[in-house]
Amino acid sequence: MRLLSTQDYQRAAERLKCPLASIRAVAEVEAPRGGFDADGNPTTLFEGHHFYRLTRGKFATSHPTLCFPEWTRKHYGKSRAEELDRLHRAQALDWESACKATSWGKFQIMGFNHYAAGFPDIRSFVTAMCESEGQQLEAFCEFIESQGLADEMQRADWKPFARVFNGPRFAENRYDTKLDAAYRKWALAAPTA
């Protein structure tokens, strides 16, 4: 469970040709406590509406808090342990769909984006997300490049970035304004922060 160093962030910024503050901002907004919990589990967020879509609603009746048609945060775990339990319960129903319906790591890449993040299948993606924040950063860079989002990160243009990275309902969570605030904070910090 290797954590990111300043040099890792700098290499990613050079690769994406963007300010270091842009990458720091995304990491802060997506996983402010880091890519792993204190027990070494990757930071995850299981999304029941994606599980519903991926399983065609197969578990909606038997497991309505895990499988439901519309996004809601009301079923999210109240603690890291509860959230991990939700993922494990969904994995017991359909491992692959549960992993694809989950955002992973320091940059919260959705499992169904594993190919865009540089992985041929969900199993190799999950293995990498469990390995290190370095792997999580690599997946993020691959995803940014595959989705053509490096330009937005270069300009710190958070609305179009948020639309792709967080989804069309990004404004409901003020995702773009959170990114902008985090970016401004990191831009004021020392260049090597």
pLDDT, residue 2, reads: 78
- Note the pLDDT tens digit of each residue in 110-169: 999 999 999 999 999 999 999 999 999 999 999 999 999 999 999 999 999 999 999 888
pLDDT, residue 184, reads: 96
pLDDT, residue 173, reads: 86
User: Please, are residues 105 and 133 in contact by the beta-carbon 8 Å criterion?
Assistant: yes
Q: Where are any strands of DSSP class E within the chain?
A: 44-46, 102-104, 109-110
5 CB neighbour count, 10 Å cutoff: 11
> Where do the domains of the chain lie?
6-37+126-188, 44-104
5-33: average pLDDT: 95
- Note the pLDDT tens digit of each residue in 74-92: 999 999 899 999 999 999 9
Global pTM reads 0.93
Residue 190 confidence class, pLDDT cut points 50, 70, 90:
low
pLDDT, residue 191, reads: 57
Phi/psi of residue 71, nearest 5 degrees: -60, 135
Structure tokens at 29: 């907004």
User: Please, are residues 102 and 44 in contact by the beta-carbon 8 Å criterion?
Assistant: yes
Phi/psi of residue 35, nearest 5 degrees: -80, -10
pLDDT, residue 1, reads: 54
| CA-based radius of gyration for the chain | 16
pLDDT, residue 171, reads: 87
